[in-house]
Structure 1
Amino acid sequence: MKTIQMTAKTPDIHALLARRKPQYSLEAPFYTNPGIFELDMELIFGKHWIYVGPEPSVPEAGDYITVEIGRTSVLIVRDDDMQVRAFHNVCRHRGSRLCQEQKGVVGNLVCPYHQWTYNLQGALMFAEHMGEQFDVSQHKLKPVHLRNIGGLLFICLADNPPSDIDDMARAMEPYIAPHRMADCKIAKQIDIIEDCNWKLTMENNRECYHCRANHPELTISLYEYGFGYAPNPENCEGLEQYQQTVKRRHAEWEALGLPSNELEHLDDRITGFRTERLPLDRAGQSQTMNAEVACKKLLGDFDEAALGGLSFWTQPNSWHHFMSDHIVTFTVLPISAEKTMVRTTWLVHKDAVEGRDYNLDNLTAVWVATNAQDRALVEQSQQGIRSDAYEPGPYSPFTEMLVEKFCNWYVNRLSALVE
């Protein structure tokens, strides 16, 4: 384990971790302190599997994307054999970045500085003026660990990444496979910058306590009793009806070969995750403004539209929604202690035609609105946490269970890795 050098401005991380009160939010330095942010980048984003985007981000040979994780730039490219590979976006000559754009197309990877040229497998092919003794085989691009799970791309910057990614892959691929992400295309991708710590972005995603009051577009297709309620005589019948609906729909979907039951491993594994297919309200087809499909051409081999929504959450930085007609996938990448990038990607069938099979505004309306609302909420939280009046507050045991699991995972991972 690497020892992180603490500065006078960094609080005692061991004391903060030791006094973390279960079922309560974290202390302010976890959201505001630059020293703790550096710990997060080194020990959380530097040593765990990070979701970086869907496989259709690089659909053809030569297509690439770059992903920025702190000071590290990672290049993800599809090679001539159609394999997706990841490399550090650093020339082996004098360190120049190879690809400057967030996405593009290349034949080979050519350094813009001195034109060292690499093939798409990362091998150095050409380096002028280096002499006869120069061995190109010793100057390949540095690889980054990459796993493709059902079309979702995860990378790990550690030399020895957590091996339990295999467990997540075995569990999740049967859930995701029917949606056939490899046969999808990106219809739209939007990046937003939130002026908050990345953990606030993730915590906000892990609960729907706030949904009814803040997300009128999203809640069109969500069952009210799926938000989580403290049971009482007034709502017990509604809660029971919702639970029976989930049970019935799970049985129907399982019979169609669609795994649906909850798998919960958010805080008991290094590579934490959770999944469940849940029914949607009203038309029950998709997360749209009328709960009907946004794309007429369904995914995979689906011939039924009302297949609910498969949700998949991973620690530390992603969530995903798979429906019969489209997929929405989210990655969260920290920028600084109080600034975070959220990338939202909408995917439809690769043969779907915009204007005929789907309208882009209709496809994206729910999450464009929801993201803007969430941005305001997390930024207000960040502002409040900066105040001297802030102190950790209690989580609802009925609606914020997954927030507690996120924080528990985070605290446990830091505790295990920090020296």
Structure 2
Amino acid sequence: MSEVQLKTLGELVESREPGCGLPGEVFIRPDIFETDVDIFFYKHWIMVGVTADVPEAGDISVVDVGRASVIIVRDDDERIRAYRNVCRHRGARLKEVGKSTVGMIVCPYHQWTYDLDGSLHHTKHMGKDFDATCRNLRPVHLKVVGTHVFVCFADEPPADIAKLEETMAPRFAPYDLQNTKIAFESEIVENGNWKLVMENNRECYHCEAGHPELTLSFLPESTGASADDMDEAGRQALDAYNKLNADSQENWEREGYICSAVEELSGDVATHFRTQRLVIATHGESQTMDTKVACKKLLGNLTRRDLGDTHMWSHNSWCHVMSDHAMITYIVPLTPETTLVRTKWLVHPDAVEGVDYDVQKLTEVWVATNAQDASLVAINHRGAQDPGYIPGPYSPTTETYVVQWVDWYAGRLKAHGI
């Protein structure tokens, strides 16, 4: 009996109906997963942490991405650097995943020792002709934007990270995000393919039923609902939202806080991102259960609490920055069916737990939201593997960003010859 010929990833993506989801096969096959990791996590810029992961000289943070591993380190000059987590001798892993503090980076195998600037400092038994300068740690391309630490494993990283930096640096500047500390962090392994995790994040079609805590700070009209589906009261509420949003943005802009949406989501874009300053509901201060600040000591030198929510997406991360704290999340694909979701809550470095902020109030909205999303992604992943699954159409109003994300995914595959 002849074997069934599997469709290539390119053929599967091409086979989808316009405006509809991807075939279920792209979420489960190991060969497709390996292609995804190679293209979207090795050849593109990805977020792997925040500057507060390495607050002092000698602090390191190690992140595994597929078979690759990166060491993020703050050197003796307070500069953040990134290296391949591979000894230049016989390739041993230098450090395990997680955070630690070191004076030098010492290989546990044969004790080759590296300075924090990556230079090979000491070896034994290598002979008088050994040239240590040829065996420094291999650097990984690194870009810090606000507090976000982006790396790219490719020899030549996409140059359009410059647009993200140019756009986000002035938006993040008032919050002084590099001068923050981590108040809390969490990890969830979601039982779903990484693409479904990102699709879920790119829409709020599910928010009203799926995220009761998060929607306390969202005005429902801000999630892309169609006026065609509204009664007269709904249309009046939408008009009121549009006016509130316009008035708030005019007020913020007068004080120098940038508001306008920037979308680098489609076309020949390698570094996929979106940003906008959004109105927060009710008290308008923060994404908390009462929509008031969770930390009394505001970020940077801010004095104004009602600055809305400055959000940013990249293709493996999302964040929400408010006057009192920032919530920053990034993902790492683990297997075709599992994805690590890592979230960090940042506050002013001088804020004191129990005095300036309560961890539960600070985190409860997104702790609940992340858990809910994990459940939703899991049922989406399982259903997409059912033999009866036929991809359906995306909503033209509430899932437009999912369409753009999938189109971007397909375009990047083509750009890399898939």
TM-score range, shorter-chain basis? over 0.9
Alpha carbons of structure 1 residues 188 and 8: separation in structure 2 relative to 1, 3 Å: farther
Corresponding residue SS for 2:55: coil
Say whether 1:68 aligns with 2:64: yes
Say whether 1:126 aligns with 2:125: no
> Does the Cα contact within 8 Å between 2:142 and 2:152 map onto a contact in 1?
yes
Task: Choose from 42, 48, 62 the match for 1:46.
Answer: 42
Alpha carbons of structure 1 residues 267 and 84: separation in structure 2 relative to 1, 3 Å: same
Give the CA deviation at 1:14.
Answer: 2.7
Q: Which amino acid aligns with 1:296?
A: K
Corresponding residue SS for 1:330: strand
TM-score (norm 2): 0.97
Q: Which amino acid aligns with 1:281?
A: A
State the distance in 1 between where 2:5 and 2:380 align: 23
> Does the Cα contact within 8 Å between 1:330 and 1:343 map onto a contact in 2?
yes
Q: Which amino acid aligns with 1:343?
A: R
Alpha carbons of structure 1 residues 8 and 148: separation in structure 2 relative to 1, 3 Å: farther
Q: Which amino acid aligns with 1:403?
A: V
State the distance in 2 between where 1:352 and 1:265 align: 35
Alpha carbons of structure 1 residues 8 and 110: separation in structure 2 relative to 1, 3 Å: farther
Taking the TM superposition and a 5 Å limit, the aligned residue runs for 1:7-22 are: 11-22=7-18
Give the CA deviation at 1:33.
Answer: 1.1
> 1:328 aligns to what?
327
Give the CA deviation at 1:101.
Answer: 3.8
State the distance in 1 between where 2:280 and 2:19 align: 29
- Number of residue pairs the alignment of both structures matches: 412
Bigger mean CA offset, 27-36 vs 74-83: 27-36
Q: Which amino acid aligns with 1:14?
A: G
> Does the Cα contact within 8 Å between 2:217 and 2:287 map onto a contact in 1?
yes
Say whether 1:210 aligns with 2:206: yes
Say whether 1:248 aligns with 2:244: no
> Does the Cα contact within 8 Å between 1:85 and 1:146 map onto a contact in 2?
yes
Taking the TM superposition and a 5 Å limit, the aligned residue runs for 1:393-404 are: 393-404=392-403
State the distance in 1 between where 2:301 and 2:10 align: 52
State the distance in 2 between where 1:211 and 1:379 align: 16
> Does the Cα contact within 8 Å between 1:10 and 1:36 map onto a contact in 2?
no
Give the CA deviation at 1:338.
Answer: 0.5
Say whether 1:28 aligns with 2:24: yes
Unaligned runs of 5+ in 1: 1-6
> 1:141 aligns to what?
137
> 2:386 aligns to what?
387
State the distance in 1 between where 2:289 and 2:35 align: 41
> 1:227 aligns to what?
223
> Does the Cα contact within 8 Å between 1:277 and 1:310 map onto a contact in 2?
yes
> 1:3 aligns to what?
none
Bigger mean CA offset, 227-236 vs 317-326: 227-236
Say whether 1:150 aligns with 2:146: yes
Structure 1 segments, 4+ long, off by >6 Å, are none
Q: Which amino acid aligns with 1:181?
A: L
> 1:360 aligns to what?
359
Say whether 1:201 aligns with 2:197: yes
State the distance in 2 between where 1:280 and 1:23 align: 30
Taking the TM superposition and a 5 Å limit, the aligned residue runs for 1:251-270 are: 251-268=250-267, 269-270=269-270
Corresponding residue SS for 1:252: helix
> 1:4 aligns to what?
none
> 1:308 aligns to what?
308
Say whether 1:98 aligns with 2:98: no
> Does the Cα contact within 8 Å between 1:196 and 1:340 map onto a contact in 2?
yes
State the distance in 2 between where 1:259 and 1:165 align: 19
Say whether 1:88 aligns with 2:81: no
> Does the Cα contact within 8 Å between 1:285 and 1:291 map onto a contact in 2?
yes
Give the CA deviation at 1:10.
Answer: 5.3
> 2:167 aligns to what?
171
CA RMSD of superposed structures (Å): 1.3
Corresponding residue SS for 1:367: helix
Unaligned runs of 5+ in 2: none
Give the CA deviation at 1:9.
Answer: 7.6
Q: Deviations over 1:173-229 (max 9, x none)?
A: 111111111111011110110010001111111011101101111111110111221
> Does the Cα contact within 8 Å between 1:54 and 1:152 map onto a contact in 2?
yes
State the distance in 2 between where 1:17 and 1:200 align: 15
State the distance in 2 between where 1:125 and 1:8 align: 55
> 1:295 aligns to what?
295
Identity %: 47
Q: Which amino acid aligns with 1:375?
A: A
Say whether 1:37 aligns with 2:33: yes
Give the CA deviation at 1:143.
Answer: 0.7
Corresponding residue SS for 2:167: helix
Give the CA deviation at 1:17.
Answer: 2.7
Give the CA deviation at 1:11.
Answer: 2.8
State the distance in 1 between where 2:237 and 2:161 align: 38
> Does the Cα contact within 8 Å between 1:329 and 1:345 map onto a contact in 2?
yes
Q: Deviations over 1:79-133 (max 9, x none)?
A: 0011100000011111111111411100000001111000001100000111101
